[in-house]
Structures are given as C-alpha cells and as structure tokens.
Amino acid sequence: MEKQSENSNGATPCRLSAIRHCSASVRSERVEYRLYEMSADGDMMGYAVGVRGFGERRVAFAGRDYALAERIFESVAHHCVTPCTLTDVVEDMMFGAEYFGAT
C-alpha cells in the first residue's frame, strides 16, 4: 500500500509505502499498525509508524535506521498504543535509543 503524504508548504511530498502491518483489539476497537518506508523523488528518507483506530489516524517519523524503526513498530503494536499517544511514545523511544546509544 502506498500513500502520498499531504504537504501544504510546497516541499516535495513524501511517499509512504507500508512494509509491515498488524492489528489488535483495544477496548473492543480494532486498531491497525503499519511500518512505512518514506521516500521522496526516489530517495529513501527513513521510516514512519502509523496507527489507525478510534476514528483517528496518526503517523510518526521513526528514524532512518531500519532496526530502530522495526523495534519501535513492534513495541507500539505490542503495547497497543493508540493514535492520540503515538507521537509522544515514538519520540520518547527515539530519544531513549539515542540517549542510551541504541541507534
């Protein structure tokens, strides 16, 4: 599945290509998780994690390192993160990985 991100500042939009996905039931609601590869003009830009559920959808940048992005994706899905908290959770995980030298 490919999507083109919306961009209102005139910059080249990123293309999001889903490379992994899964779903979970959270409080009787189906929540979908996706790991995306981001590219623009054919250049790989990094990875993002997306969550859709509870009538919302959020995508958060998860770095340029596949191993780190995959760990973030797996953790987000395993702990049933919802769209409203995705950005905070991913930022905390990326900061922790950088701080503890896991990138």
- Whether 42 and 62 have beta carbons less than 8 Å apart is answered as no
Contacts (Cβ under 8 Å, ≥6 apart) of 30: 23, 24, 53
Give tens-digit pLDDT for 81-94.
999 999 999 999 98
pLDDT band at 11 (very low <50, low <70, confident <90, very high): low
pTM: 0.81
CA dihedral 19, 53, 61, 45 (to 10 degrees): 40
DSSP 67-80: HHHHHHHHHHHHTT
How many domains does the chain fold into? 1
**What is the residue range of 32's domain?**
2-99
Chain center to CA of 72: 8
